[in-house]
Structure 1
Amino acid sequence: GPGGIIPPGRRRLSPCLLSVNSQITGSDTVILAAILAVCGAWFGLANPVARLPLLMLLLPAGLAYLAIRADTARQAAKWTYWTGAVAAAGNLYWTSLPVHDFGGMPWVLAVPVPILMGLVLGAYAAALALAWRFGASRLPAWLFLPYAAAAWTVMELLRGTLFTGFPWLTMAAAFSPWPMAVQGAAFLGAYGLSGLLAALAAAPAVYGLFSRPTLAVVLIAAALAFLGNRRLAEPVPRIAAAHVTLVQGNVDQSRKWAPEAEEETVEKYIELSRRALSDAPSDLLVWPETSMPFFYQDGGPLAQRVRDFVASAGVPLVFGAPAYERTLGGHVLYNRAFLLAPDGRTAGYDKEHLVPFGEYVPLGQYLTFIGKLVEGVGDFKPGASAAPLHQGDLALGTLICYEAIFPELAQKRVEAGANVLVNISNDAWFGDTAAPRQHLDLALLRAVEQGRALIRGTNTGISAVIDPRGRVMAQGGLFSALALPCPETPIVSETTWYHRCYGLITWGLPALFVLLGLAACLRPVRSRDRRPGGLTL
């Protein structure tokens, strides 16, 4: 009721998220919880101001508090919807930049883009909160905690699958700067790890800071930290190592596709590579996504220059370029990664998961008014093969651009035999924002999940080499032309528990959520003195 007063006869959960002065009203604590949740998401994930990964836990804690603090389910959905929407919109602020700078949209139309995305993503937060509210009112603590973890995992799975999928704001990615904290992804995957962390954060909000469930959470968190550090101390089971050199051209995106700039771009990459090879030999050169802004497959003087350089250097090269295939209906365009060997042999991988409104327009025949968003890029078609690109001991599982944010794609690459993951990308679209760092944090999780080194070559940054434990071995900066060597990139054939049990985890955690949800349905709503707040294990 108004001011946090409970009307007579109204039953309500009584959580304790924060130790607040008794004079603070219920509405004040609700506002405070929402603010802390939004700020936690902002400062927990990569942003241009300051960052502390641990603050990300305030988001699930705040959502849990709001869910059970509300008088009704409708009120809980409303509070958590807007909290989730604002948190998502804030972290996706950068989406307005490519729409304005490269899509030709005025700011008045570009600025609402992250807001609209937040309004969609807020629905996931509201659905999660309703599930948590339902479970907390019926399940004992020892069942509610796994239920809460499974519910968050299902939310992230759905967010990464529905409407082509957008798993950008995965909670586990907030902890990528702390390798110790993300080792659980090798066993549960990023979504499962997110769910576990969310449940640990929600427990104090549901049961109180000084309750037995919260004590159990502290012990579980300590065990996770111990196991994470122990796994980092173990040697990586590599079968060999390769000297990899990444070349970051820092080519201006606004000039990249201009025909007069093609020769300059080719020469820039060749010169940066030549200098790097003069300093130290390399087993593999990596240039970014569409680093060659022409149809390499057609041959011609520029393609011949690339072939001549690779032959004279004696080093295989991975690079990106547009490609096409002739069909009865015309030409089909692909975003392709080429592997060019010194003897002239060429293999390729065509991007499988395309960026909607960036590489193609969904229902483009009807949405003709947004054609400008893909101007200069083309309307691409997805590739079909996940086979690795082979060169000597290297079996390169290739991920182009934001394919690195999808766990299932990295799974397919390793399943097909990849012993190293390669992610070539062009993050120039995002400008000097938090997006390149957020993208790197998500890609890092694929290395931990699959137990593979990840080589990430970008046009403007952030290029990096990440070891199978999620430790950054080499990293470049933003908007600088550079060559980044990494002499001991591990080649690994052993797989992680997550990889081996991928199907069990992917389907098992949602099944756990359903089973515990059914168990909750069969249990009565607990009496007031048994509700969270006074509940013990």
Structure 2
Amino acid sequence: MKRLPDVRLLIACTLSAVLLSIPWLVPHTGALALVGFIPLLLADAAADRIGIRRFFPYHFYTFILWNTLTTFWVCNATVGGGIFAIVANAAQMSLVWTLFRLARRRLPGAVPYVFLAVMWIAWEARYFEVDISWPWLVLGNAFATSTKSIQWYEYTGTLGGSLWVWLVNLGAFGLICSVADGRWHAWTKAARMCSFAGVVLALAGPLVLSKCIYDNYEEVSEGSVAVVIAQPNLDPYEKFESLPQSAQTERLLSLFDRGLADVPDSSSVLLLAPETFTSDVVVNDIGASPTVQAFRRYLASRPGTEMLFGASAIETFGTRSAPSPCARRYGDGWYISRNSAIMTGPDSSAQIYHKSRLVVGVEMTPYPKIFVPVDDFLADLFGLYSLMGRCEGQEEPSVLRFGIVPLGCAICYESVYGKFCTGYVRAGAQAMTVITNDAWWGDTPGYRQHLSYSRLRAIELRRDIARCGNTGISCFIDQRGEIVSSTPWWEQAVLSGSLNLNGSQTFFVRNGDMVGRISTLAFILLAALLAVRFIMPRR
């Protein structure tokens, strides 16, 4: 007879999913992630005690629910992509948990739990690097609205937060289990005090350290850049389907007029516009774009101003053979799609940066040598132009110069990748900009989560950030990750402010993701030990 799911285990798994979800849904609740795994860990241990050998449905249910509660909004942009993201991410989490349960059968004591923590962090670290990447729910992101608690991210990056989550969860779980099974009373008083103090230290130590850093950090200012951010509030379906580009440009420039009204005529000002504002740019001849021409006429009448804006661009190639697997036919040649940021002044010069971290499926085809032929076959089968995007980015981040000041420009999804964003600073960026279009998700937690990740980047890099969203939220963020000023959601708005310049580099920028590398090494060593234990017969 088939065994029915245990209600008590389902309740515990549901509680874990809810606790892990709340930090992404309710501001300033990151601390709940520090206990979020405890119900699941207790359910896992209880399943063994009551003879449930197949725990996979329980932990997979937990991760499906967690992913659904926090990232359901992806379905507003693409139903199929949203479902795939939820299921695929949950499946990878469940694979980690399955390997942990496997380790419990062969490794002694607390070692399987150490294996679980380092394996999870190693998976997160690798997730930032692969083509099919969706690191939205990296555990360290749980503190994105609790920035006063994680000022030490300038040393560890976001994965330092993931390590903190596991230290507290596993420490507290160990104490609960020791009390429940009676081992606590068999320990000496000194052992009990040490174990309790260890958990308290794991919980409170990072908080105390962060407060010390926060209270003593002084905003670095090696000069400043005046910025005017325009939020045109263009509905994406109207923008790409019915509203002429000339009307969009007129709306944007009228917002800049409002923002520049209070700026002295002699001031140098950077005008910041959102991602994919125009789609009439050919990289080979940027000046031929009617939008760029309109921008340059506007800038010529306002000396000292330059504009940084996003464009859906193409780059053409006159070669006989395709320059890359993602290239498409363009007359007798080829073209490659780009999601670009362009810096231009009133003259004919322009700088360009191509988005490197592209959204899987929507913007780019992963592992193109494999999946481009598959995409072509399916598109022909269903009579479509294409099922997946074919954008390509550049290999490494680069800076755009406002006058002589080097600035980084993270385009949309790139702002989720902390280690990647260190490349802007290593390339010389003294301040950061983020341009994005979050309108596809509607009024959901998605755009708020995306905004909060820019706050993490400000701490990791110790750079001021000017963020421009098509429909919001646009804002200025200081080097401690605090939002200095912001616009409302889904309103036309303009925001003026300044970016302090900082030429120094944080430990995280200089040394990269140490937590991820150490966790990966520990995982490899413990995985090797586990393999040996399975190969060698038990005595």
Aligned amino acid, residue 53 of structure 1: G
Residue 448 of structure 1 contacts residue 468 of structure 1 at CA under 8 Å; is this kept in 2?
yes
Code of the residue aligned with 2:504 in structure 1: it is E
Residue 455 (str. 1) matches residue 466 (str. 2):
yes
CA offset digits 1:486-509 (Å, max 9, x no partner): 23x221111111122216444222
Question: Among residues 370, 376, 379, which one is paired with 1:365 in the alignment?
Answer: 376
Contact 1:323 1:335 in 2 (8 A): yes
- Tell me how far 1:298 sits from its aligned partner: 4.8
Does 2:235 correspond to 1:252? yes
| 394-403 or 129-138, larger mean C-alpha shift | 129-138
| Deviation digits for residues 264-311 of structure 1 (CA, Å, limit 9, x no counterpart) | 110111110111111235632210001134227252554322102122
Cα offset for 1:207?
3.2
Q: Runs of 5+ in structure 1 lacking a partner? A: 5-25, 100-109, 525-537
Structure 2 Cα separation of the partners of residues 404 and 374 of structure 1: 27
Per the TM alignment, residue 227 of structure 1 is displaced from its structure 2 partner at its CA by: 0.9
Instruction: Tell me which amino acid in the other structure corresponds to 1:172.
Output: G
Question: 1:97 pairs with 76, 84, 108, which one?
Answer: 76
1:79 paired residue number: 58
Aligned-CA RMSD value: 3.2
**2:320 is equivalent to residue 310 of structure 1:** no
Q: CA deviation at 1:353?
A: 2.1
2:312 paired residue number: 322
1:42 aligns with 2:42: no
Alignment-mate amino acid for residue 305 of structure 1: A
Counterparts of 1:370-385 in structure 2 under 5 Å?
379-385=390-396
Q: Distance in 1 between matches of 2:520 and 2:249?
A: 48
The answer as to whether partners of 1:36 and 1:58 remain within 8 angstroms in 2 is: no
Shift of 1:208: 0.8
Q: What is the distance in 2 between the residues matched to 1:116 and 1:387?
A: 32
1:295 maps to 2:274:
no
1:218 aligns to what? Answer: 200
User: Which letter maps to 1:93?
Assistant: F
AA aligned opposite 2:205:
A
- Among 249, 256, 262, the residue aligned to 1:273: 256
What letter matches 1:334 in structure 2?
Answer: R
Which whole-Å deviations, capped at 9, do the CAs of 1:321-343 have from their partners, x for residues lacking one? 12222212322221110111345
Q: Does residue 33 of structure 1 match 2:12? A: yes
Structure 1 residue 367 displacement after superposition: 3.4
SS at match of 1:40: helix
1:396 corresponds, among 403, 407, 410, to: 407
Distance 1:394 1:204, change over 3 A: same
How far apart in 2 are the matches of 1:481 and 1:241? Answer: 26
1:475 Cα deviation from its structure 2 partner: 1.9
Aligned pair partner of 2:503 in 493, 497, 508: 493
1:357 is paired with a residue of what secondary structure? coil
Q: 1:262 corresponds to which residue?
A: 245
Deviations, residues 16-48 of structure 1 (Å, cap 9, x unaligned): xxxxxxxxxx9454222211111113322136x
Give how far 1:427 is off. 0.8
> 1:479: how far off?
0.5
Corresponding residue of 1:14: none
Mapping for residues 237-248 of structure 1, pairs under 5 Å: 237-248=220-231
1:379, CA displacement in angstroms? 3.7
Correspondence 1:364-443 to 2 at 5 A: 364-368=375-379, 379-443=390-454
Match of 2:67 among 75, 88, 106: 88
Change (3 A) 1:349 1:140: same
Contact 1:311–1:344, Cα closer than 8 Å, also in 2: no
Residues in 2 aligned to 1:371 and 1:357: alpha-carbon distance in whole angstroms: 18
Cα gap change, 1:69 to 1:451, in 2 (>3 Å): farther
Tell me the CA shift for residue 220 of structure 1.
Answer: 2.2
Instruction: State the Cα distance separating 1:147 from its structure 2 match.
Output: 4.8
Using the TM superposition, give the Cα deviation of residue 224 of structure 1 relative to its aligned residue in structure 2, in angstroms. 0.7
Equivalence for 1:8 = none
Q: Is the 8 A contact 1:453 1:467 kept in 2?
A: yes
Paired with 1:46 and 1:373, the residues of 2 have a C-alpha distance of 37
Change (3 A) 1:359 1:118: closer
Distance verdict in 2 for CA 1:75–1:355, change over 3 Å: same
Letter matched to residue 20 of structure 2? A
Matched with 2:351 is 347
What is the CA distance between 1:127 and its match in structure 2? 3.0
Contiguous gaps of at least 5 residues in structure 2: 185-191, 320-332, 366-370, 535-539
Residues 69 and 310 of structure 1: CA distance in aligned 2, closer, same or farther (over 3 Å)? farther
Return closer, same or farther for 1:266/1:89 CA change in 2, 3 Å cut-off.
same
Deviation digits for residues 213-262 of structure 1, max 9, x if unmatched? 45412222211111111111221333222222211110121121347521
Q: 1:185–1:448: 8 Å Cα contact kept in structure 2?
A: yes
SS in 2 for 1:359: coil
TM-score (norm 2): 0.81
Give per-residue Cα distances to partners, 1:449-486, cap 9 Å, x unaligned: 22222222110112222222221122222111111122
Decide whether the 8 Å contact of 2:33 with 2:165 is kept in 1. Answer: no
User: Structure 1 residues 310, 63: closer, same or farther in 2, change over 3 A?
Assistant: farther
Distance in 1, matches of 2:12 and 2:153, equals 28
- For the residues of structure 2 that align with 1:479 and 1:238, how far apart are their CA atoms? 32
**How many Å apart are 1:345 and its aligned residue?**
2.7
Distance 1:381-1:207 versus aligned 2 partners, 3 A rule: same
The match for 2:173 is 205
Aligned mates of 1:378, 1:88 — CA distance in 2: 24
User: Using a 3 Å threshold, how does the CA distance of structure 1 residues 62 and 514 change in structure 2: closer, same or farther?
Assistant: farther
**Could you report, residue by residue, the CA deviation over 1:318-374 in whole angstroms, capped at 9, with x for unpaired residues?**
101122222123222211101113455310101112222212345321332789797
Q: Secondary structure at the match of 1:256?
A: helix
* Percent identity over paired residues: 24
Q: In structure 2, which of residues 154, 157, 161 is the aligned counterpart of residue 186 of structure 1?
A: 154
Report the secondary structure of 1:418's partner residue. Answer: coil
Q: CA deviation at 1:63?
A: 3.3
Provide the C-alpha distance between the structure 2 equivalents of 1:172 and 1:312, rounded to a whole number of angstroms: 46
